[in-house]
């Protein structure tokens, strides 16, 4: 009986660990920006396999930004990108580059996502 | 200012690429293309074996670069974006169906076999061997039919994202892994928990692929409005070049070129009629069913149909500048915007998947504790993961907006964004600008009174002579009346200036009128105060002047040589359908207010004619916004309807600004809602469509929330102790696949919405 109790305790600890891991991994983890640029050249973002790549970009404030989206993902969810806080959205035709020109933004984080809020990305203005 | 640039500034070059055998080749070809100087972007579509290249570069250079890289390349001319998009969608649709079919072909016989007890049991070694083979077979099927879920889940995971794919991959992956553990080493789990769930994994994958395929089909209908508008533009136009009429592709037509349009033909691009007369059906853009007469000087719009008559017109706008292209762009933008009503769903869907994952883990733990049953624990965990549907939540608002905005366009109503649509559905008060909104905005002479020896035509002649150089709207009305006083004069013809006597002197007093000398006569034209100023006896018309004002007319008095010669009554006629439209507004329970800079007497007269009870009169243009604010402060949700030019501040200050009789760039770009048709019915149509769309969104959101709120606890086995009911994971898969489809189908129902008929 003690053995079973021990296993159950182990399973509970494991389960709790997984829950903590989920919370940390999906909500609290702050990844380093994959792209850091200082020039005004377009930043290419690929939409493939359910993700924006890179999903986190760091760009300097005080200059216009060009984000070039290329959608490789045929799923209809990927067909649109939205920057809710900037009231910007764009259709992303498959395999066709689409440039989104943003004005110079104040420092802060600007998230972008697909129409159904399943693909997430963050633009960090430093 | 944000610019969404689809690289149309310089046309992209499309190449057909040969010799690509794997995804690695895609990278090679793209690298080769990007290395060509001048190329700004290059993207290869492996499925179609094509490449799309952007930049200032010749196609031949690109072809050579691809050939040098070891592949073949040929330029593809005439890229049709919409057709390409459709082809790509159809290809993906077929792929999803194939995946569903393959998974179903393996899953269904297994399901039926186990249901009928025809399959070997796991307790004997031959049975385990059988299930091991099935395990490998289902793995192959999962790789073929469900690969996208696993790669998607994997990539999302490392991007710290989780989505529907994560749930499906975890659910089916857990089912397969657990089954394989049971097959390989049954001793690891209690004997009662020794079940294999291979068939569940593949059937779930089959169902979700099938659901996605159906959803994709249903989705394509939601953008029909755009397709219909794009389809309006003909491919060719008959252009006059070097004295000959030649058929020219629409993209090759230049500005200022002359185009011939024959009866039954569609007008290719926007322009101004040079010669000829015709009746043009503009209903596809404005919703106005009656054809519009066009003659020299009239504007014509690309996409409309010439019903009768032949004419030549000069091209004024091409490409993205045409009204049709601007309308399409505006609808696209509006369709992709989200109103506040969807924000709650957005907030939920952004945290939804990790929450469901946590619920799944807790479900497993709970089952282990309460019933000590690994198998049921695994099944319920898997069912929770599978049944949860973040997509239904995410789709609820945008799908309805897509259809609603498109539906409005059918009625000649362009809605700027989801916010405008939402507010339109909540309006309580409509403020109508008088001039050009309730009335036609083009004053006409309604009556001419002549006194003494002067005839009606002489009265008009002197008045016209005084007004001939003026740009005042009343001047235009007098000149038009003078022209019409000549028999046999047709619309469009004009009386030349030489027909009118020349002015010998001219003095204008602002707010009063004009004092002039013509053919030796002293002429005074203006209001009663001007007559008093010049000591002209008006006692004979003391009653007539206020009477005219009561009829919403502006009386202009004309005196010649100090004697009253006539009165010209000018009125701004009410639009034919204003009364009916205002009645519809009242019938919907709206408060209707008219606002105008006109004198209170005139304003009240117009309001009475159209049946409006509340009037703000003598309001200066810059103060109209204050009236709107006052209404808002009283708790009303206010729409301001105006021409979009003079009343821009009031349009901007209102909750929803309607620009009526749109089609001007200013209106399209400034108003929340542009009414293509010059009729107040558009306001009511917009409101009804918005209300229907909001109802549809609410239904979708309610359905999606309820589905998840009931589905997840049911899947977790919450009702098991009470009812003994436990959900089969395959039913969960079917429910999940159907939930998104239901949302899209419900949004499609909006396509059938019709504004109730009115007189």
> pLDDT tens digit string along B543-599?
888 888 888 888 899 999 999 999 999 998 999 899 999 999 999 999 999 998 888
**Which tens digit of pLDDT belongs to each residue from B499-508?**
788 888 888 8
**Which tens digit of pLDDT belongs to each residue from B317-326?**
888 788 888 8
> Å from B400 to nearest chain A CA?
13
Q: Is residue B339's pLDDT more than 90? A: no
Minimum CA–CA partner of B154 in chain A:
A49
Q: What pLDDT score does A2 carry?
A: 66
Q: What percent of chain B has pLDDT over 90?
A: 33
Q: What pLDDT score does A33 carry?
A: 61
Contact (CB, 8 A) for B582 and B570? no
Same domain, A4 and A51: no
Chain B residues inside the 8 Å CB shell of A42: 40-41
By DSSP bridging, strand B656-659 and strand B638-642 are parallel
B521: helix, strand or coil: strand
Count of CB atoms situated within 10 Å of the CB of B116: 8
Counting runs of H as helices and runs of E as strands, what totals does chain A give?
Answer: 1, 10
Judged by CB atoms closer than 8 Å, whether chains meet at A100 and B2 is answered as: yes
Q: How confident is the model at residue B161 (pLDDT cuts 50, 70, 90)?
A: confident
Strands, sheet with A80-83, edge to edge from the N-terminal-most edge strand: A35-36, A56-59, A120-125, A108-114, A80-83, A88-91
Structure tokens that stand for A42 in this block: 């377009």
Same domain, A26 and A44: no
Q: Is residue B483's pLDDT more than 90? A: no
**Which tens digit of pLDDT belongs to each residue from B603-614?**
899 999 999 999
Contact (CB, 8 A) for B270 and B319? no
Q: What single DSSP character describes residue B254? A: P
Number of domains in chain A: 2
Q: Which of B134-138, B249-253, B578-582 has the lowest mean pLDDT?
A: B249-253
Chain A residues inside the 8 Å CB shell of B160: 25-26, 29, 31, 55
> Å from B135 to nearest chain A CA?
26
- Rounded to an integer, the average pLDDT of B283-308 is 87
- Rounded to an integer, the average pLDDT of B339-343 is 80
- Rounded to an integer, the average pLDDT of B360-365 is 93
- List the single best residue of A94, A100, A114, A120 to mutate versus B (max B Cβ within 10 A): A94
Q: What pLDDT score does B423 carry?
A: 92
> Å from A60 to nearest chain B CA?
18
Active-site residue (options: B270, B281, B433, B685):
B433
Minimum CA–CA partner of B373 in chain A:
A8
**What CATH number has the domain bearing residue A114?**
2.60.40.420
Same domain, A50 and A103: yes
Is B23 at the interface with chain A, CB within 8 A? no
Q: What pLDDT score does B666 carry?
A: 62
CA distance B645 to B623: 15
Q: How confident is the model at residue B726 (pLDDT cuts 50, 70, 90)?
A: confident
Is B137 at the interface with chain A, CB within 8 A? no
Q: What pLDDT score does B308 carry?
A: 87
- List the single best residue of B1, B4, B54 to mutate versus A (max A Cβ within 10 A): B4
CA distance B100 to B79: 32
Q: What pLDDT score does B356 carry?
A: 94
- Rounded to an integer, the average pLDDT of B514-525 is 90
Q: Is residue B81's pLDDT more than 80? A: no
Q: What pLDDT score does B79 carry?
A: 43
- Rounded to an integer, the average pLDDT of B400-418 is 90
CB proximity list for B593: less than 8 A, separation 6 or greater = B429, B430, B431, B432, B612, B614, B615, B616, B627, B631
Contact (CB, 8 A) for B615 and B607? yes
Element (H, E) at B564: strand B563-571
Is B7 at the interface with chain A, CB within 8 A? yes
Q: What pLDDT score does A38 carry?
A: 60
**DSSP codes, B164-211:** HHHHHHHHHHHHHHHHHHHHH-GGGS-GGG----HHHHHHHHHHHHHH
Q: What pLDDT score does B7 carry?
A: 39
Q: Is residue B473's pLDDT more than 90? A: no
Q: Is residue B357's pLDDT more than 90? A: yes
Q: How confident is the model at residue B370 (pLDDT cuts 50, 70, 90)?
A: confident
Q: What pLDDT score does A37 carry?
A: 65
**Which tens digit of pLDDT belongs to each residue from B256-287?**
889 999 988 899 999 999 999 899 998 888 87
Q: Is residue B721's pLDDT more than 60? A: yes
B735: helix, strand or coil: helix
B695-722 burial: b if 16+ Cβ within 10 Å, else e: ebbebbbebbbebbeebbebbbbbebee
Higher pLDDT, B240 or B666: B240
Q: How confident is the model at residue B378 (pLDDT cuts 50, 70, 90)?
A: confident
Q: Is residue B177's pLDDT more than 70? A: yes
Same domain, A98 and A121: yes
Q: Which domain holds residue A10?
A: 1-30
Minimum CA–CA partner of B167 in chain A:
A118
> Å from B234 to nearest chain A CA?
23
Residue labelled with tokens 């009118």: B500
Same domain, A64 and A111: yes
Q: What pLDDT score does B11 carry?
A: 58
Is B22 at the interface with chain A, CB within 8 A? no
- Rounded to an integer, the average pLDDT of B112-116 is 87
Say which of B157, B163, B332 has its CB closest to residue A118. B163
**Chain B window 388-417: which residues touch A at a Cβ cutoff of 8 Å?**
390-391, 393-395, 398, 417
CA distance B146 to B100: 9
Same domain, A81 and A99: yes
Cis ω before A54 (30° cut-off from 0): yes
Chain A residues inside the 8 Å CB shell of B333: 89
> Å from A105 to nearest chain B CA?
11
Residue labelled with tokens 């022209």: B483
Q: Is residue B77's pLDDT more than 70? A: no
CA distance B474 to B457: 17
Q: What single DSSP character describes residue B752? A: G
CA distance A70 to B222: 23
Contact (CB, 8 A) for B651 and B628? no
Judged by CB atoms closer than 8 Å, whether chains meet at A99 and B216 is answered as: no
Is B357 at the interface with chain A, CB within 8 A? yes
Chain A residues inside the 8 Å CB shell of B704: none
Judged by CB atoms closer than 8 Å, whether chains meet at A100 and B4 is answered as: yes
Strand locations in B263-417 (E): 270-276, 278-281, 292-294, 299-300, 305-308, 311-317, 413-415
Minimum CA–CA partner of A111 in chain B:
B350
Is B3 at the interface with chain A, CB within 8 A? yes
> Å from B108 to nearest chain A CA?
26
Q: What pLDDT score does B36 carry?
A: 85
Same domain, A65 and A89: yes
- Rounded to an integer, the average pLDDT of B73-92 is 69
Structure tokens that stand for A39 in this block: 């020039």
Q: What pLDDT score does B9 carry?
A: 38
Structure tokens that stand for B67 in this block: 């050939």
Residue labelled with tokens 């037509």: B253
- Rounded to an integer, the average pLDDT of B171-178 is 90
Q: What is chain A's pLDDT, residue by residue, as a tens digit (126 residues)?
A: 567 778 888 989 999 999 999 999 988 887 666 666 666 678 889 998 878 988 888 888 888 888 889 998 888 778 888 887 887 888 888 888 888 888 888 898 898 988 777 788 888 888
Query: Could you tell me how far CA B311 lies from the centroid of its own chain?
Result: 32
Contact (CB, 8 A) for A98 and B6? yes
Say which of B164, B219, B336 has its CB closest to residue A91. B336
> Å from B163 to nearest chain A CA?
5
Q: What pLDDT score does A55 carry?
A: 85
Chain B residues inside the 8 Å CB shell of A116: 349, 390-391, 393-395, 398
Judged by CB atoms closer than 8 Å, whether chains meet at B148 and A70 is answered as: no
> Å from A122 to nearest chain B CA?
11
Q: What single DSSP character describes residue A27? A: I
Q: What is the pTM of this model?
A: 0.76
Chain A residues inside the 8 Å CB shell of B27: none
Q: Is residue B498's pLDDT more than 50? A: no
Q: What single DSSP character describes residue B266? A: B
CA distance A124 to B746: 38
Chain B residues inside the 8 Å CB shell of A80: 336
Is B53 at the interface with chain A, CB within 8 A? no
Same domain, A8 and A51: no
Q: What pLDDT score does B67 carry?
A: 81
Same domain, A63 and A50: yes
Mean pLDDT, chain B, integer: 85
Same domain, A11 and A53: no
**Chain B window 639-658: which residues touch A at a Cβ cutoff of 8 Å?**
none
CA distance B143 to B290: 59
Minimum CA–CA partner of A53 in chain B:
B159
- Rounded to an integer, the average pLDDT of B528-541 is 88
- Rounded to an integer, the average pLDDT of B655-682 is 81
Chain B residues inside the 8 Å CB shell of A84: 338, 346
Same domain, A87 and A59: yes
ipTM: 0.76
Higher pLDDT, B223 or B601: B601
Query: Could you tell me how far CA B355 lies from the centroid of its own chain?
Result: 35
Using CA atoms of B221, B224, B227, B232 in order, give the dihedral in degrees to the nearest 10: 140
Same domain, A47 and A22: no
B100: helix, strand or coil: helix
Q: What pLDDT score does B46 carry?
A: 65
Judged by CB atoms closer than 8 Å, whether chains meet at B219 and A91 is answered as: no
Q: What percent of chain B has pLDDT over 70?
A: 92
Is B281 among the catalytic positions? no
């Amino acid at each position: 009986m003690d053995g079973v109790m021990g296993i159950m305790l182990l399973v509970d600890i494991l389960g709790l660990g997984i829950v903590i891991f989920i919370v940390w991994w999906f909500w609290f983890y702050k990844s380093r920006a994959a792209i850091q640029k200082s020039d005004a050249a377009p930043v290419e973002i690929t939409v493939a396999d359910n993700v924006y790549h890179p999903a986190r970009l760091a760009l300097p404030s005080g200059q216009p930004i060009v984000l070039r989206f290329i959608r490789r993902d045929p799923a209809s969810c990927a067909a649109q990108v939205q920057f809710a806080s900037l009231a910007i959205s764009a259709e992303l035709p498959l395999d066709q580059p689409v440039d989104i020109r943003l004005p110079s933004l104040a420092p802060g984080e600007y998230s972008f996502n697909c129409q159904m809020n399943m693909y997430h990305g963050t633009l960090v203005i430093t | 200012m944000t610019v969404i640039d689809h690289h149309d500034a310089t046309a992209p070059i499309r190449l057909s690429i040969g010799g690509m055998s794997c995804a690695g080749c895609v990278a090679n070809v793209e690298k080769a293309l990007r290395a060509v100087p001048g190329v700004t972007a290059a993207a290869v579509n492996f499925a179609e074996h094509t490449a799309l290249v952007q930049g200032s570069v010749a196609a031949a250079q690109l072809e050579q670069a691809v050939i040098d890289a070891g592949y073949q390349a040929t330029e593809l001319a005439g890229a049709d974006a919409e057709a390409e998009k459709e082809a790509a969608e159809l290809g993906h649709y077929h792929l999803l169906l194939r995946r569903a079919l393959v998974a179903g072909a393996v899953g269904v016989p297994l399901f039926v076999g186990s249901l009928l007890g025809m399959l070997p049991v796991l307790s004997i070694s031959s049975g385990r061997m059988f299930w091991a083979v099935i395990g490998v077979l289902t793995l192959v099927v999962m790789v073929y039919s469900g690969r996208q879920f696993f790669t998607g889940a994997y990539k999302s995971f490392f991007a710290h994202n989780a989505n529907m794919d994560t749930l499906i991959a975890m659910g089916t992956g857990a089912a397969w892994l657990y089954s394989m553990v049971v097959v390989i080493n049954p001793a690891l789990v209690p004997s009662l928990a020794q079940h294999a769930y291979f068939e569940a994994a593949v059937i779930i994958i089959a169902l979700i692929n099938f659901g996605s395929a159906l959803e994709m089909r249903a989705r394509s209908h939601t953008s029909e409005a755009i397709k219909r508008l794009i389809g309006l533009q003909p491919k060719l136009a008959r252009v006059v070049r070097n004295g000959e009429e030649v058929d020219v592709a629409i993209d090759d037509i230049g500005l200022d070129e002359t185009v011939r349009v024959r009866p039954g033909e569609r007008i290719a691009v926007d322009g101004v009629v040079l010669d000829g007369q015709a009746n043009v059906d503009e209903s596809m853009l404005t919703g106005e069913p009656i054809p519009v007469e066009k003659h020299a000087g009239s504007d014509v719009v690309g996409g409309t149909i010439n019903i009768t008559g032949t004419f030549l017109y000069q091209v004024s706008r091409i490409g993205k500048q045409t009204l049709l292209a601007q309308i399409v762009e505006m609808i696209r933008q509006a369709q992709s915007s989200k109103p506040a009503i969807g924000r709650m769903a957005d907030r939920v869907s952004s945290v939804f998947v990790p929450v469901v994952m946590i619920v799944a883990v807790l479900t497993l733990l709970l089952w282990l504790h309460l019933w000590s049953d690994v198998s049921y624990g695994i099944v319920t965990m898997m069912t929770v993961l599978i049944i949860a549907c973040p997509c239904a939540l995410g789709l609820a608002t945008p799908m309805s907006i897509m259809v609603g905005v498109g539906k409005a366009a059918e009625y000649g109503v362009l809605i700027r964004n989801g916010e405008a649509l939402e507010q339109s559905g909540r309006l309580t008060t409509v403020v109508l600008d008088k001039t050009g909104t309730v009335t036609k905005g083009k004053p006409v002479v309604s009556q001419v009174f002549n006194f003494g020896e002067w005839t009606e035509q002489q009265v008009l002649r002197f008045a016209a002579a005084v007004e001939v150089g003026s740009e005042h709207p009343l001047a235009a009305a007098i000149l038009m009346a003078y022209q019409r006083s000549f028999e046999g004069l047709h619309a469009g013809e004009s009386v030349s200036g030489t027909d009118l006597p020349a002015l010998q002197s001219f003095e204008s007093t602002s707010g009063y009128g004009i004092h002039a000398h013509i053919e030796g006569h002293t002429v005074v034209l203006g209001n009663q105060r001007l007559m008093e100023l010049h000591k002209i006896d008006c006692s004979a018309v003391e009653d007539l002047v206020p009477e005219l004002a009561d009829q919403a007319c502006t009386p202009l008095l004309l005196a010649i040589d100090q004697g009253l010669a006539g009165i010209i009554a000018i009125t701004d006629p009410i639009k034919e359908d204003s009364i009916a439209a205002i009645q519809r507004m009242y019938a919907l329970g709206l408060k209707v207010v008219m606002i105008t800079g006109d004198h209170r007497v005139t304003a009240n007269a117009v309001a009475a004619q159209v049946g409006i009870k509340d009037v703000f009169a003598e309001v200066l243009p810059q103060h109209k916004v204050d009236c709107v604010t006052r209404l808002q402060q009283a708790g009303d949700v206010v729409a301001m309807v105006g021409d979009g030019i003079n009343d821009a501040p009031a349009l901007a200050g209102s909750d929803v600004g309607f620009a009526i009789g749109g089609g001007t760039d200013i209106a399209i770009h400034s108003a929340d809602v542009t009414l293509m048709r010059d009729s107040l019915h558009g306001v009511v149509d917009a409101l009804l469509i918005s209300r229907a769309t909001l109802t549809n969104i609410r239904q979708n959101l309610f359905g999606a929330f309820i589905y998840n709120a009931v589905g997840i606890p049911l899947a977790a086995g919450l009702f098991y102790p009470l009812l003994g009911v436990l959900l089969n994971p395959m039913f969960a898969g079917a429910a999940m696949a159907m939930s998104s489809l239901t949302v899209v189908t419900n949004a499609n129902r909006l396509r059938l919405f019709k504004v109730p008929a009115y007189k």
